[in-house]
């Protein structure tokens, strides 16, 4: 069973073994509005925690997506480059951004679980 973690930047990580599938949460998508462009890194690119990993543009704003943990991209969701609107339809499912091979699993310890994230979002409103 994959473990799901959340950041205070409204990203989720679905962790399965030493690979994290990363994307933005439904809340983040709702704040952005209709996503019209996504720029993703190439497989093989390495990131340190906090590095800019992707760019999302919507009709309202452009936003950087930062690597919530350190690791190397093993796959980018190419479907988003041709159809960024998938983020509007299924942000926490099929519209994931990247899969990152974790270089330091202890970095996951500072992230929120679903319950803590729900409380965090409720406090945003």
Q: Tens digits of per-residue pLDDT, 29-81? A: 999 999 999 999 999 999 999 999 999 999 999 999 999 999 999 999 999 98
CA distance 86 to 89: 5
Predicted local confidence at residue 62, as pLDDT = 92
Predicted local confidence at residue 81, as pLDDT = 87
* CATH fold group of domain 3-124: OB fold (Dihydrolipoamide Acetyltransferase, E2P) (2.40.50)
CA distances from 12 to 22, 27, 46, 59, 82 (A): 6, 11, 19, 22, 22
Predicted local confidence at residue 124, as pLDDT = 84
pLDDT in tens, 81-105: 899 999 999 999 999 999 999 999 9
Predicted local confidence at residue 2, as pLDDT = 81
């Amino acid at each position: 069973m994959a473990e799901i973690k959340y950041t205070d930047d409204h990203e989720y990580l679905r962790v399965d073994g030493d690979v994290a599938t990363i994307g933005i949460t439904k809340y983040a998508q709702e704040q952005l509005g209709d996503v019209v462009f996504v720029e993703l890194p190439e497989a093989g690119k390495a990131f340190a925690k906090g590095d800019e990993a992707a760019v999302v543009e919507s009709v309202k704003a452009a936003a950087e997506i930062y690597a919530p943990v350190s690791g190397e991209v093993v796959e980018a969701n190419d479907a988003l480059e041709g159809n960024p609107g998938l983020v509007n339809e299924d942000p926490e499912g099929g519209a994931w951004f990247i899969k990152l091979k974790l270089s330091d699993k202890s970095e996951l310890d500072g992230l929120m679980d679903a319950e803590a994230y729900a409380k965090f979002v409720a406090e945003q409103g």
